[in-house]
Structure 1
């Protein structure tokens, strides 16, 4: 079976737009890999396994392309707490913090080393005339909101790609010059077909937890907060200084009263409270 992919909805809540774009998704995903000599798979260092796209990894191996795993948002985790066996599966990898600009020099060095190993035949006069590009191409793939555009910007040293906290902010594919010999190929965030759904609550909840869906777009934010509390016991209580013994309803109720996020009549607006929690979670204000 050929792998299929689904890209994020580019800041739209309308399902019909997603359906219209869907036929293009496999072409875009494969085009990045097909056109690349080296592929960077961007992972969220907090959710390494959850943000891996193993379908795309199979495609990379099938095409015989070099892959480097980028463990992004490294400032939000303690790398020493990540199991060594898990890291071995990701060799070669680089810990990156775009926010703190850590690991950028190491990645640039790796790209330069790998690029020198790729042998290019000189372009013919006709190829030059036709505009053939003989530079080393580095494709960048990953789940929505894992930091692909932020990585490009810190590598290039300027705002080369649009960046936002909303999942799927990057629009279409674009090429960005890194050096005279290396060009980066950016693309929208991609979710594996077996993890993507517009109707299955468990998949929607999981994708929102890892940032694949924006906190502003999910229909049941309370379910995502519950998943966070289940997978990471005590993390929200510690962050908000509330002892709720893992009770999501109590946490949202007390947090709403504490922050004054109330409906008419004085009851907590738990939907809005949950979205605020998810916003802080997705933007890294809550650390693992």
Structure 2
């Protein structure tokens, strides 16, 4: 299944970022600590014109701390980039990002050259919650669903520090299949764009390999050797009473339970990817995408030849 979700307002966000970036000193990108690679928007590197980048690994209280450390090291090793982790609802850690942004643009500051910062992130990554924490008031709408913020806002965090908030934006086509599932599991993608049962199965498959103890502790099911994600989802449904007439498990209800408990962290602190895993998924996705583009270009050339828009290539000599 290819999961895609790019509502109309996201096209407007892309345009707004392209215009705003001309006067921006630092770009803050909020990442979901449970999926720091999948939640990084590949369009931003192009849109932000190589501005200094502050990667804020948010919701770290929901994520595996050992894996968060790996991701911090990964992003801090990139040029012109800093990374910090925080929980957007905590006031003291949230204030750290102001200092980190100033360090990335040391020549900006004061009333003559105020700091201008753009904050970006995928939907439901906690951006609005963070902004409300920074300002100490409800400057931005929040909610546990994708697409709450719909328009750009300018927020003054100090006399010489302006923060420009943008709506959450995904990218038009997700080429890493695993990222699509992880984004759906996290709540970054609108629920009408994916099948809960399929996402829950992908999630359980990963958790069986990487967090079996958390599954066993939460659902009190026996994880026998060779148990499949389908068998586990059915066992969870029976344990939780998601049973239809004649004893059949309601797999849709069981899937909703699994996804909800992952998002709420009642399953435990979980991170769905390491830097090494994501690099492998990305390389595979890029290869498939390149092959798809070659095929697409070939079909387009054939169409143009039929319409006599371009000449037919000469036949090879026999």
Match of 2:121 in 1: 142
Partners of 1:48 and 1:220 in 2: how far apart? 23
Match of 1:275 in 2: 256
Partners of 2:20 and 2:239 in 1: how far apart? 47
2:45 alignment partner, one of 37, 45, 57: 57
Q: Does the 8 A contact of 1:141 with 1:187 survive in 2?
A: yes
Which sits farther off after the overlay, 247-256 or 163-172?
Answer: 247-256
Aligned residues: 256
Match of 1:170 in 2: 149
| CA displacement 1:18-73 (0-9 Å, x = unmatched) | 3x54653431342453442221011111211111123312332x2x4221110101
Match of 1:103 in 2: 93
2:132 alignment partner, one of 153, 172, 176: 153
2:169 alignment partner, one of 183, 190, 204: 190
Question: For 1:165, what is the secondary structure of its paired residue?
Answer: coil
Partners of 2:11 and 2:217 in 1: how far apart? 44
Q: Does the 8 A contact of 1:42 with 1:69 survive in 2?
A: yes
Shift of 1:105: 3.2
Partners of 1:222 and 1:260 in 2: how far apart? 17
Partners of 2:21 and 2:192 in 1: how far apart? 29
Q: Which has the larger radius of gyration?
A: 2
Query: What 5-or-longer segments of structure 1 have no aligned partner?
Result: 1-6, 10-17, 123-133
Shift of 1:204: 4.5
Which sits farther off after the overlay, 20-29 or 89-98?
Answer: 20-29
Partners of 1:68 and 1:26 in 2: how far apart? 19
Partners of 1:203 and 1:45 in 2: how far apart? 14
Task: Verify: 1:33 aligned to 2:12, yes or no.
Answer: no
Given the superposition, is the C-alpha separation of residues 8 and 28 from structure 1 closer, same or farther in structure 2, using an over 3 Å criterion? farther
Q: Does the 8 A contact of 2:243 with 2:249 survive in 1?
A: yes
Match of 1:179 in 2: 158
Partners of 1:202 and 1:279 in 2: how far apart? 19
Partners of 1:97 and 1:139 in 2: how far apart? 19
Given the superposition, is the C-alpha separation of residues 276 and 45 from structure 1 closer, same or farther in structure 2, using an over 3 Å criterion? same
| CA displacement 1:120-149 (0-9 Å, x = unmatched) | 895xxxxxxxxxxx7432111111111111
Task: Verify: 1:71 aligned to 2:52, yes or no.
Answer: no
Task: Verify: 1:225 aligned to 2:186, yes or no.
Answer: no
Partners of 2:5 and 2:128 in 1: how far apart? 14
Q: For the aligned residues, what is the CA RMSD? A: 3.0
Question: For 1:217, what is the secondary structure of its paired residue?
Answer: helix
Query: What 5-or-longer segments of structure 2 have no aligned partner?
Result: 271-318
Structure number having the greater helix percentage: 2
Partners of 1:285 and 1:34 in 2: how far apart? 43
Question: For 2:192, what is the secondary structure of its paired residue?
Answer: coil
Match of 1:14 in 2: none
Q: Does the 8 A contact of 2:38 with 2:179 survive in 1?
A: no
TM-score, with length taken from structure 1: 0.75
Shift of 1:260: 2.1
Which sits farther off after the overlay, 155-164 or 251-260?
Answer: 251-260
2:185 alignment partner, one of 205, 209, 213: 209
Shift of 1:165: 1.0
Q: Does the 8 A contact of 2:205 with 2:228 survive in 1?
A: no
